[in-house]
Chains A and B, each alone.
Chain A
């Protein structure tokens, strides 16, 4: 990382400009939809538009105060995606349905929580103290939907929901974050041990069996989610998140090999043993056979209708409000990508996917830029999780891979998903703030970090897989060893 030698720039004005563009896209989309409506540009429209604008600008102001070096592209990207999702959900609402307003409420709640995270947390490294608490919270969140009384029961074949008063909530979405915090904390503390020990087989260095502990844990969590919650998508997401983080922590491709073989093995056994997995795969491979198309539930009708919608959109789309995305089941949640494909066309969908690409790229950029292993792991894991989630969802909708029940980040209707993804954005913004800011901020209280407690006297590991080769990577990992005091 070489931007230590240039003066850091906050770039908040760039953010403001991009934010105005993002709001123009969101509100413009909403306006296009309102035109077809009977009561175009009514008070509802102005109320919602101004709410979104005020919330986005408030977020911007908070960043100016608390994280002025944060990446200026992330917030506008997310506001644009969220706004497009709001417009599409609003457009898909049948008369009397209120999904659009519900999504608006959740957007505001999620942004408020993300602001609170930035405001209260101040520095992402504090999270490292909560490594094992995060693990416990993850376990709790994942078990909650199975607890009688709290569980909302089986909805659409999966048991991933809990009931909170009048609302339902998917705690697994938040578990994605707590698991990432746990992995980042655990791996940043123990990566030397995992890295150095092991035996070499061919070109790959395999870890010792006792270092496989976290890998086995992650695998069991994923399989548990698959078996007990019947949620193939989350299972793949959790395990993918873990593989990437352990790969980044150790730079050992052998972990990826082990991880992929575990997931393929587990997936194969699951497809043989569990009917819900077998059905997913069957309705993917044989989507266009009469029997599978007509089967309900577990048929391919949803995928095929989505494909029909996207095909009718073609290159340029039917135009917002002009298509028939309502023919597709779950048009505003699981299949919202198909709705966008139909009405905005391939060009519009490319733009949306490009926004995701930019978003996770900025996340990886923050991972590269930040100087602590914990932050690197966390940013990298969260960014990869966003990318993987997009891949699983869009791949499923386009019949590239079997369709699973994951949500499209920021676009799809659903409060838990919005909340979790906005928290991820908050964390990425904070990490990018330290990455892009002046090389060091005030040190944390010495002696309080887990690493300092666990490995006394041991020199901090160089944060590179090839120590010594890269001069810019020789910055020490532990925040106690500040280089430059501003």
Chain B
């Protein structure tokens, strides 16, 4: 009997050994994972009332912690809330943290390892913990200009980057919202505002599903840049190739006809060279390229431009990966080649494509962070330009630049022309359905011979005329503003 008692004791000890193991796992081994869980409100509650570092644009705070009340020493406020909401995100007690507030939380909250020495200092001096400040690459004037170029009530995004460095100079979208309403300490107000805000269609609350980094839109004709790069890169086409340019294309076995673009002068020729096809944005020449090269070649080139790929680790914001569908039939491939059907791209992805052409085929890593500084202004982090991927050769990029320049000087992108400056551009009109509404695109860069700035504009759900007015002419204004600085 005593032996059995001892065995029972061993069984009880074994259970307790399991308990010790489980406790160690939860509290030490797996603790970091649990702390990082998005549902875990403790992290934000812990530093909710601390003096969080500021997010700065050209030396001015766009998000900062100001004196709060008795229960909470500091209150997070956004000085130009709607203008920067898509970038800063919000810092909310009950709805979590988004945008750069989340991505740079370790630095802003002062818990980053880079701030270790500062923390020790605070400990000894008894000071309140204070986070590092984050300075952005954004140019506030361009950001404001771009934001105002999207009419209120219009859904759209604008991305302005420096193609040589990957620095983002402006990134805006509408509709936007006021993050102050969600960062308030008044829980009832916070909840009411949140419920009000999420009702707005297309609102950019989560950068991985909406806004310049997250909205997955049909790119339309701007995708023809991918076809052109694929054609030249295949060796089967050269700069002088003549492409078939029928009024419509038919496919074996189905009723569907792919029509040419009706808005330009496509109908005047039965064959077209690349320059004409791009200038007038004819559809059938590019569909024929896709037919000849096959799905693999187009998809491969799309991947080289970033479709289905990541955007590096300097953007910090969440984003969506752009999509090029696979296993297409002949009609599907033809439609995909002109950026319709199920091809999707974020505005930032189109900006990346254009910047690769501008930068001799090399795509730079998109970057929002100019510098991270400790409370005593010591620079903790200063991202350098990093090439992200090679999209095409310098020769092909140069050739496409030449053709894109003619789109603006002689073709349907004329509205973007800036006097005295060579502007390269490409327009796109992606049909959304049969009701005549489109996603209207412009993407381009200037000056063509020494690119300083790339601009990508998309206006969602507009008719052809409105789209034309809101894209190329607006790009011109941004080119002028950047180049006249």
Contacts and interface: CB of A to CB of B under 8 A. Distances in A.
Interface of A: 1, 244, 247-251, 288, 293, 304, 307-315, 324, 327, 341, 345-346, 349-350, 353, 356-357, 360-361, 364, 367-368, 373, 376, 380, 383-384, 387-388, 390-391, 394-395, 398-400, 463-466, 470, 473
A461 to B, nearest CB: 9
A288 B37 CA distance: 9
A464 B4 CA distance: 9
Interface in B1-41: 1-9, 11-13, 15-16, 18-20, 22-28, 30-32, 34-35, 37, 39-41
A311 B23 contact: no
Contacts of B257: none
Interface of B: 1-9, 11-13, 15-16, 18-20, 22-28, 30-32, 34-35, 37, 39-43, 45-46
Given A312-B35, A390-B19, 15 more contacts: A247-B4, A249-B1, A310-B26, A311-B31, A341-B27, A346-B24, A353-B16, A353-B20, A367-B5, A368-B5, A383-B9, A394-B23, A464-B1, A464-B2, A465-B4
Contacts of A349: 23, 27
Given A361-B9, A368-B6, A311 B19 contact: no
A337 to B, nearest CB: 9
B35 A315 contact: no
A361 B11 CA distance: 12
Contacts of B18: 391, 395, 400
B33 to A, nearest CB: 8
A376 B27 contact: no
B9 A398 contact: no
Contact of A395 (B22, B27, B41, B43): B22
Contacts of A350: 20, 23
A395 B17 CA distance: 11
15 contacts: A244-B11, A251-B4, A310-B26, A312-B31, A345-B27, A353-B23, A364-B12, A368-B5, A384-B12, A390-B19, A395-B18, A398-B22, A399-B22, A400-B18, A464-B2
A399 B26 contact: yes
A324 B8 contact: no
Contacts of A463: 1-2
A384 B5 CA distance: 10
Nearest to A356: B16
B19 A251 contact: no
Contact of A327 (B8, B25, B35, B42): B42
Given A251-B4, A324-B42, A398 B15 contact: no
Nearest to B46: A312
B442 to A, nearest CB: 39
B1 A293 contact: no
A379 B470 CA distance: 85
Given A251-B1, A398-B19, A311 B9 contact: no
Contacts of B45: 324, 327
Closest 9 CB pairs of A and B: A311-B34, A398-B22, A387-B12, A311-B31, A391-B15, A346-B27, A400-B22, A364-B9, A248-B4
Contacts of A345: 27
Contact of B23 (A308, A309, A346): A346
A225 B267 CA distance: 83
A380 B19 CA distance: 20
A405 B211 CA distance: 46
Given A324-B42, A398-B22, A315 B4 contact: no
Contacts of A312: 31, 35, 40, 42-43, 46
Contacts of A251: 1, 3-4
A364 B5 contact: yes
A310 B34 CA distance: 9
Contact of B16 (A313, A368, A387): A387
A388 B15 contact: yes
A324 B93 CA distance: 14
B34 A380 contact: no
A353 B19 CA distance: 8
Contact of A314 (B3, B7, B31, B43): B31
Contacts of B8: 244, 247-248, 364, 380, 384
Contacts of B35: 308, 311-312
B26 A307 contact: yes
Contact of A308 (B15, B24, B42): B42
Nearest to B34: A311
A391 B34 contact: no
Contacts of B32: 311
A309 B19 contact: no
A380 B5 contact: yes
Contacts of A307: 26, 34
Contacts of B31: 310-312, 314
Given A353-B16, A394-B22, A466 B3 contact: yes
A327 B41 contact: yes
Task: Tell which of B9, B32, B43 has the most Cβ of chain A within 10 Å.
Answer: B9
A376 B1 CA distance: 8
A45 B73 CA distance: 31
B13 A309 contact: no
Contacts of B46: 312
Given A244-B8, A304-B39, A353-B20, A315 B15 contact: no
A315 B27 contact: yes
B19 to A, nearest CB: 5
A350 B40 CA distance: 24
A314 B33 CA distance: 12
Contacts of A395: 15, 18-19, 22
A307 B27 CA distance: 8
A367 B26 CA distance: 34
A356 B17 CA distance: 12
Nearest to B40: A308
B424 to A, nearest CB: 46
A394 B28 contact: no
